[in-house]
Amino acid sequence: MSFVPVITIDGPSASGKGTVAQRVAAALGFHYLDSGALYRLTALAAERRGLRWRDELEVAQLAGDLDVVFDGAAVLLEGDNVTEAIRSETVGIGASIVAALPAVRSALLARQHAFAEVPGLVADGRDMGSVVFPDARLKVFLTASAEARAERRCKQLSAAGEQPDLAAITADLESRDERDRSRAVAPLQQWPDALLLDTTNMGIDEAVEQVLRWWKDVLSA
């Protein structure tokens, strides 16, 4: 696996990881892994089966057996198009809850490794550089202030036809970040080998350009 070049982009919710990772992947012709989608799919599948998000063994078994197809931008769960359903705030909270269960994380590991194919992979999440792809050639920790992230999430939800409440979104982001940071397994953290990219006052283009510059540096080192 390690001969496939991997770029990891980890960071808190709504920092722009997915947007930047997809743009970098497109620029380099690399594959893209949205690892958060796997936790979101697990949470949604559990809800649909009537399981509680904290039932570790049942949810882990479900995660291991997930029938998922990533078809371009579309995501199918057991043949059902859930592209929008997995993006709701409720499913995001569920994802953060199931993601704290060690057996669920193990059940999703092989599926994530399978994304590392030639010519390369850009993977975004919380533990891409620390646990899933520790040998990645470039590791980025992408963040922004809680205010900037809450505003971005609100705009994103409005564009999707929801009517978000800024105060509720801010509270939700903060409690999700806290859960993701304080869990025992694979906590969200900026590890020493990751380069910090704070996009509080930076546009998407600039963030993408910075990652591509770092990648050039890696290749020429």
One residue of 61, 83, 88, 156 binding ligand ADP per CB under 6 A: 156
Give the list of residues 6+ apart from residue 26 with CB closer than 8 angstroms, or none.
none
Identity of the residue, 34 or 63, whose beta carbon is nearer to ligand ADP in the bound complex: 34
Q: Per CB under 6 A, which of residues 86..115 are in contact with ligand YYY?
A: 92, 95-96, 99
Name the amino acid, one letter, at 149.
R
Distances from the Cα of 82 to the Cα of 15, 40, 44, 90, 161, angstroms: 23, 10, 9, 14, 16
Work out which of 49, 57, 119, 203 binds ligand ADP, going by CB under 6 A: 203
17 lines the binding site for ligand ADP (CB under 6 A): yes
Contact pattern from residue 17 through residue 56 relative to ligand YYY, giving x for each residue in contact according to CB under 6 A and a dash for the rest: ------------------xx--xx----------------
Distance (Å, rounded) from C-alpha 100 to C-alpha 184? Answer: 8
Question: Contact region for ligand ADP (CB under 6 A) — 16-24, 60-68, 110-118, 128-136?
Answer: 16-24
- Tell the residue number behind the tokens 């193990």, with chain if given: 106
3-state helix, strand, coil in the chain (%, to 5): 50, 15, 35
Which residue intervals of 16-78 are DSSP H helices? 17-28, 35-49, 56-64
Residues lying near ligand ADP in the complex (CB under 6 A) = 13-19, 152, 155-156, 199, 202-204, 207
Residues lying near ligand YYY in the complex (CB under 6 A) = 13-14, 35-36, 39-40, 92, 95-96, 99, 125-128, 176, 180
